[in-house]
Structure 1
């Protein structure tokens, strides 16, 4: 696999009609799409074994694996407030003894004092042993305001599909005869204490083309699900439809969300009897929160409001009672970011809207409160040049929990009240000597003149070019912000730290397609504009070379999921620039992606390959169709999971088969469990981090040929 075949063989393959692969019949590797097919799995086992034989034999592998496991299992991690439930807080705790986690609860007072007194509710590892299942925790939805009953989602092996069970927090047991749903990609939420919103797989006609629920039903306690009353349905071509509720003070507001595409939604307000009235939100607006009787949404296109013209990226509110009463619900602006800012997160406490913005990618927290004649806001006094993330908020009182970190500063959890000083709750101790490194934000100029930010981390005092790892995403409005180097974005443990400790450079690139500068940053890489994100990535790499910080051929491109499209495209377009590619859970074959698992849900992002006009521009950059035999093509490491039911494992499998036919080097690691997140536990994450380090050293390290 890793050795090259004769170039003549590769060139013969390149001249065959199969290279074009404009139809399924022309794809010689389509058999690898049979996820559990024995022939396909035998090929996977062979590739896995070949990769492990090479990379686990390197001297750095056992050291890196042990170090990664130690970092990932460190019990000095922050016990994050996964949910604030009245005067209690819940947390899922994972460590060496509990790799799948302990779901536990403590009083909010003890948590705020920094000495939480935890009571275990569910031991996920023990539950799996007792039931003979490989359970992976996927969350709890507890009914406010009492929070005594919860809907627990458990995934067999880490897939997106869950089993849902009702749990009683007061007794610490699953409810006998309570609400239970079998394994499926279900949409489930509380309507009231005895009724659920449910959308699930009921057989033919119940799912959309994307594989998500097409129907919303109300299921009453004590009845068979077959008697559940349907209250809404979507189209077969929709992405999904779901019901949910939000508690605003003492009022429970209920909604239905129908998603015609990934980037559009129609919302309705649901009355107590299950009937619904449409909300006046624009179809491309993002539902963010409910506060003070208003629904708050982020705009993605301009809107005329009663107090001023609102632009894309602004937050706007509509009065819900007017909607119920059949009156015109006039929207008004509640927050407008500056030109360099983008709203990234929104959360509510009892009386406050908390808005986290990015300002040239640096985090800021803003408090927004209802008032007359307009809502007012103020910036909270928190460290500059940091990554800030909202962890949770209190339902009573106005406190928000946030984490603050940077590449060189470990995360600290703060409780930030609406009035008074912020309080430090917990912090991760330093896990490396940060004084040995420098981090700076730089800007590259893309092909069309766009200014593209990126973060560069290097050993302090080193001059000249270094082997460099560049990670990016570039899609789905997902901004990439700098995190502490032991918790970077590969789902692979502390790879970036290991790479820096080896004397190399690490870059996080904020290319278009993400949300770093609001809707415009995303829209500039949609569909026919996708090449902009690839050009941005090339621009960052070229800027590093021009500044004598990196060398062509000694640069690795890393991307995961949507990032698989990115790194596959840049490898095809600039094999002169990149010496290695890390491609995790990747999308690669854009000719067939909409026919594989959840792929149809992303056509608003990429285009529909079955429409000739769309395929015309997608064909220009689709990684699979543009792969060519080239002796200078960068070595690729594919990592993924057999049980990924979001991005089909066939993408990586077929790309690996193509490279093998070309005689080009590649490495392959397909974990059996883990779903789209790949690793079902930290042991797998540690192995992957160590193998990826060995791969980078072998292909672009200073010792590489």
Structure 2
């Protein structure tokens, strides 16, 4: 995909989403009141009462704020005691250990699906098995992999490296220099958090490059090749201090440096920067067109894309909410909100194309490559050698449209100079000074390049029936070959290979299908609709045994409802590996709700639940829960809800608002304290999504639903399992810690907490640790909502 520079995705958790296979190269309710405090230093019981709705924050005092200090002995003792209590209650017995082993065997199976990344003549892959639980980065000849005769050569064994350096390294990907392909910039995370170290790796010798491009201090760094001896460096020397001048208040680098080989990072000149109140700044070099681009991420919604013109960064004259792509002399613009240009209104979620030279000359006559309606949503844009792929969702069915524009005169997109700005940039009123030109007010020249739709080839790829499919180009510098991955909740993933140039786009070569992880012979999937209080239809998927799902007279069963509802992230169907083993095989029903706040139906679906409208997502989720009960799938006592990250906020808020509706809650790596979330780790990056707790008008609606402030002693809540990870450097584990401590102090006995000692916001480096955490969740659920319906 030739998106110029990707903005920071501050809330994209692997635990929240189906696996991203576009770059695989690297890239329990038993009541226990014997120890309600579950710690050697129990939190005080004089908790503040919840603030009345609409009154703002009642007090800045927080009796559990000490749980934000992860490195203290007091916090360590509290976490240890909580973990011991939770594990003693649920992590035992033959069924638990059997599930753990099945999950481990599945994660480390020799029959895993291999989806390599192609770089020139080589196929790159990151592989984990019983001998390499932390993983090995490896490669094989591409032609051999295609022929099924790959001889994999280990490049970097993380288990060996971790033992040698006494650090549990997690793989965070590698960038191979093109076209030479003999060096790589490797990203490694200690423990699995977002912060990494960077090391240059010699692919010929299999060693790290002596005196190469190395960043050994852990930080939220990002690097990218310009040439063999020069890279763009987004450097984070803050060591987690969001007040450090080199990072934004969200904790991401705000300066881009041009780092030359043989020099220290601090000596590298700053060539681009953003304001400290922004999210981040980044830059990249596109080898295909020989051009430099930069991106100023103002917020999760807004940003400014720049191109290097001589020694000056010039902004693309598009709205802040629009994404920009360039390819072969064409400019593509994807606005998130409606964009008025004269008498024309381009809908938010559209994809528009124009010749780049015409755009810079003042033309605003676009060809609409994709225009959404109420049921369709743009989901991606990628480019191959001569064709581009427009991915979109059609009423929750994934589709791909291939586009080939007419060839343009040579000379467009020719190489430009490298940045010459060598001093720190001075920030002006909303724009960047010192050689930065926003380009606003460019002359509106006559339309010198009217677009002829007949000159553009557009082809629809056939849908793989009954499957969710993802399509991406394998190597856009080589050809137009594509990978297609198909799967669904009960369908193991299958990898196919096709070509955008083929006469028959449906003629796909089947490469490999993942073996089934669980027995789905008696199971089925249906799609249903609930209606929100405002009448909006909310789709949801129901997965379970046919005898339960399709019966005219259903017998209610234990049911687990999953949701997310934020940041324009769509919950697309994906193979239910752990759910199948831990829940469905035992007779449980699994449900996924496609509520507003997500991206299932495009930007408007997301915007319907942003900021003060966040309760819309809660109402949608509750509507699905009530529909499940009304349709006889389950009962309130048998209904559990699960969500992680923003989804953790979702399930906690729904629990607080409707405690009688649920029998159990699994709240994972959650955001819960809406008064202090923006002061913890990357939380400031979500103000655009949630609102600013320090602004009185925002505080009123945030305090009205903040789970940490709305939970009350006199209310009877369902059993709750809060989980987090000590290494989570995106959502602070204090959210879950403080919520568990407050509810326990209020006298709620069936409140459980477990904190993974390894891993960040997503998966743990070692699948064996993740397997025990996953099994713990299902043990909790069967002990609560499953005990009367199993």
Per the normalisation by structure 2, the TM-score is 0.83
Contact 1:585 1:678 in 2 (8 A): no
Specify which of 761, 766, 772 is matched with residue 676 of structure 1.
Answer: 761
Are 2:357 and 1:266 aligned? no
- The residue correspondences of 1:69-88 to structure 2 (distance < 5 A) are 69-81=104-116, 83-88=117-122
Aligned to 1:414: 496
Structure 1 residues 65 and 474: CA distance shift in structure 2, 3 A: same
Which string of whole-angstrom CA distances, capped at 9 and with x for unpartnered residues, describes residues 348-401 of structure 1?
A: 111121122222212122212213723332221231332112355222111111
Give, in whole Å, the separation in 1 of the partners of 2:89 and 2:105. Answer: 24
Deviation at 1:2, TM superposition (A): 4.8
Are 2:574 and 1:483 aligned? yes
Aligned to 1:240: 280
Which string of whole-angstrom CA distances, capped at 9 and with x for unpartnered residues, describes residues 197-236 of structure 1?
A: 1121345411111111111111111222222111122111
Aligned to 2:701: 617
- The residue correspondences of 1:391-410 to structure 2 (distance < 5 A) are 392-395=473-476, 396-410=478-492
Matched positions, count = 687
Deviation at 1:165, TM superposition (A): 1.0
Aligned to 1:633: 717
Which string of whole-angstrom CA distances, capped at 9 and with x for unpartnered residues, describes residues 10-69 of structure 1?
A: xxx999645449367421100000011110111000000000111123442112111111
Give, in whole Å, the separation in 1 of the partners of 2:302 and 2:214. Answer: 31
Aligned to 1:473: 564
Deviation at 1:110, TM superposition (A): 2.2
Specify which of 199, 207, 217 is matched with residue 257 of structure 2.
Answer: 217
Specify which of 497, 513, 537 is matched with residue 597 of structure 2.
Answer: 513
Give, in whole Å, the separation in 2 of the partners of 1:531 and 1:432. Answer: 36
Give, in whole Å, the separation in 2 of the partners of 1:625 and 1:192. Answer: 52
SS in 2 for 1:553: helix
Give, in whole Å, the separation in 1 of the partners of 2:316 and 2:144. Answer: 41
Deviation at 1:3, TM superposition (A): 2.2
Give, in whole Å, the separation in 2 of the partners of 1:436 and 1:609. Answer: 49
For the aligned residues, what is the CA RMSD? 2.3
Deviation at 1:619, TM superposition (A): 1.2
Larger RCO of the pair (alpha carbons < 8 Å, separation 6+): 2
Contact 1:198 1:219 in 2 (8 A): yes
Which string of whole-angstrom CA distances, capped at 9 and with x for unpartnered residues, describes residues 220-274 of structure 1?
A: 11222222111122111111111122333xx222211111111110110024x65
Give, in whole Å, the separation in 2 of the partners of 1:306 and 1:352. Answer: 31
Deviation at 1:321, TM superposition (A): 4.8
Give, in whole Å, the separation in 2 of the partners of 1:34 and 1:308. Answer: 54
- The residue correspondences of 1:555-594 to structure 2 (distance < 5 A) are 555-594=639-678
Deviation at 1:124, TM superposition (A): 1.4
- The residue correspondences of 1:134-283 to structure 2 (distance < 5 A) are 134-181=168-215, 182-202=217-237, 204-248=244-288, 251-271=289-309, 274-283=311-320
Deviation at 1:327, TM superposition (A): 6.0
Deviation at 1:513, TM superposition (A): 0.8
Aligned to 1:489: none
Aligned to 2:409: none
Deviation at 1:296, TM superposition (A): 2.6
Which string of whole-angstrom CA distances, capped at 9 and with x for unpartnered residues, describes residues 473-504 of structure 1?
A: 10011100111111xxxxxxx03442111111
Give, in whole Å, the separation in 2 of the partners of 1:602 and 1:165. Answer: 30
Aligned to 1:28: 63
Aligned to 2:461: 380
Contact 2:99 2:581 in 1 (8 A): no
Structure 1 residue runs without a partner (length 5+): 8-12, 487-493
Structure 1 residues 466 and 30: CA distance shift in structure 2, 3 A: same
- The residue correspondences of 1:687-702 to structure 2 (distance < 5 A) are 687-702=772-787
Are 2:148 and 1:114 aligned? yes
Contact 2:170 2:192 in 1 (8 A): yes
Structure 1 residues 541 and 14: CA distance shift in structure 2, 3 A: farther
Contact 1:454 1:509 in 2 (8 A): yes
Are 2:126 and 1:97 aligned? no
Deviation at 1:510, TM superposition (A): 0.6
Which string of whole-angstrom CA distances, capped at 9 and with x for unpartnered residues, describes residues 554-587 of structure 1?
A: 1111000111110110000111111111111111
Aligned to 2:770: 685
SS in 1 for 2:717: coil
Structure 1 residues 340 and 124: CA distance shift in structure 2, 3 A: same
Deviation at 1:409, TM superposition (A): 0.8
Which string of whole-angstrom CA distances, capped at 9 and with x for unpartnered residues, describes residues 505-562 of structure 1?
A: 0001111111100001100010011011111100111111111111112111100011
Contact 1:495 1:692 in 2 (8 A): no
Contact 2:382 2:472 in 1 (8 A): no
Give, in whole Å, the separation in 2 of the partners of 1:473 and 1:620. Answer: 20
SS in 2 for 1:438: strand
Contact 1:100 1:135 in 2 (8 A): yes
Choose 295-304 or 663-672, whichever is displaced more: 295-304
Give, in whole Å, the separation in 2 of the partners of 1:398 and 1:378. Answer: 14
Structure 1 residues 41 and 580: CA distance shift in structure 2, 3 A: same
Are 2:388 and 1:303 aligned? no
Contact 1:340 1:360 in 2 (8 A): yes
Give, in whole Å, the separation in 1 of the partners of 2:401 and 2:697. Answer: 43
Aligned to 2:349: 313
- The residue correspondences of 1:328-477 to structure 2 (distance < 5 A) are 331-371=366-406, 373-374=452-453, 375-390=456-471, 392-395=473-476, 396-420=478-502, 421-462=507-548, 463-477=554-568
SS in 2 for 1:263: coil
Give, in whole Å, the separation in 2 of the partners of 1:423 and 1:307. Answer: 47
SS in 2 for 1:188: strand
Deviation at 1:320, TM superposition (A): 4.1
Give, in whole Å, the separation in 2 of the partners of 1:506 and 1:15. Answer: 39
Give, in whole Å, the separation in 2 of the partners of 1:296 and 1:168. Answer: 36
SS in 1 for 2:661: coil
Give, in whole Å, the separation in 1 of the partners of 2:472 and 2:764. Answer: 23
Structure 2 residue runs without a partner (length 5+): 1-29, 37-43, 239-243, 407-450, 549-553
Which string of whole-angstrom CA distances, capped at 9 and with x for unpartnered residues, describes residues 432-477 of structure 1?
A: 2322101101111111111111100111213321110001110011
Structure 1 residues 126 and 5: CA distance shift in structure 2, 3 A: closer
Contact 2:347 2:372 in 1 (8 A): no
Are 2:32 and 1:3 aligned? yes
Deviation at 1:593, TM superposition (A): 0.1
Per the normalisation by structure 1, the TM-score is 0.93
Deviation at 1:305, TM superposition (A): 6.5
Give, in whole Å, the separation in 1 of the partners of 2:665 and 2:702. Answer: 21
Contact 1:561 1:586 in 2 (8 A): yes
Structure 1 residues 616 and 496: CA distance shift in structure 2, 3 A: farther
Deviation at 1:88, TM superposition (A): 2.0
Structure 1 residues 123 and 202: CA distance shift in structure 2, 3 A: closer
Choose 470-479 or 456-465, whichever is displaced more: 456-465
Give, in whole Å, the separation in 2 of the partners of 1:651 and 1:2. Answer: 23
Give, in whole Å, the separation in 1 of the partners of 2:157 and 2:34. Answer: 50
Structure 1 residues 655 and 369: CA distance shift in structure 2, 3 A: same
Aligned to 2:8: none
